[in-house]
Amino acid sequence: MPQHPIKLYRHPLSGHAHRVELMLSLLELPTERVFVDLAKGAHKRPEFLALSPFGQIPVIDDNGTVLSDSNAILVYLAKTYGEGRWLSEEPVAAARVQHWLSVAAGQVAFGPAAARLITVFGAAFNAEEVINRAHVLFRVMETELASTPFLAGAEPSIADVANYSYIAHAPEGNVSLEAYPNLRAWLARVEALPGFVPMQPTAAGLLAG
């Protein structure tokens, strides 16, 4: 256990920040949440750029160890506090996790996450293009999850934490999950983990009204 609460710089509607918030909760780590007002440009101010040079959330400060990039933070938390449960040292298992971290930073970021950025934050992406990308990804995941309960194997890992938030909230970006029962069952398994905390929902996209 850390000697002091881990500071988490976050915004409640950021899926990247939610990944880290979820991991901290799953590990039962004391956390001090620091709100970063993205709308007012707080992430571009010099004091924040000193913590996160790219001006991105989330950032953690673990008693002086300051880290940015959500997936890098997940690796740090798993290796520091996970007691081997969330990131295997076995080479093939570790590679499987890394594969899904790359998916979270690639296909998820440029598919369902981008679609949600249009409806929630007004981002200027091509909606048809990013929604199509999301469905291409979800079809692959649907097939993969037919033979495994979690993304990297039989047990949950940081692979699941990294991919959960934006996929669970894909309907906010007009990406339906209806055609993907295995994917939805996987989301439910993540939500059933002890210590799970949800991301704040937004009435946007398919959830508008």
Q: What pLDDT is recorded for position 42?
A: 67
Residue 137 binned pLDDT confidence (cut-offs 50, 70, 90): very high
**48 vs 105, which has greater pLDDT?**
105
Give the residue among 5, 8, 17, 22 at the shortest CA–CA distance from 63.
5
Q: What pLDDT is recorded for position 79?
A: 97
Q: Return the DSSP state at 108.
A: I
Q: Exposed, middle or buried: residue 53 (CB in 10 Å: 0-12, 13-18, 19+)?
A: exposed
Q: What pLDDT is recorded for position 121?
A: 65
Residues 6 or more apart in contact with residue 158 via CB below 8 angstroms? 23, 71, 74, 75, 77, 78, 86, 87, 97, 101
Residue with tokens 């990406």: 175
Q: What is the pLDDT of residues 65-74, one digit of tens each?
A: 999 999 999 9
- Domains for the chain: give ranges and CATH numbers: 6-81 (3.40.30.10), 91-198 (1.20.1050.10)
**C-alpha distance across the termini of the chain, in Å:** 43
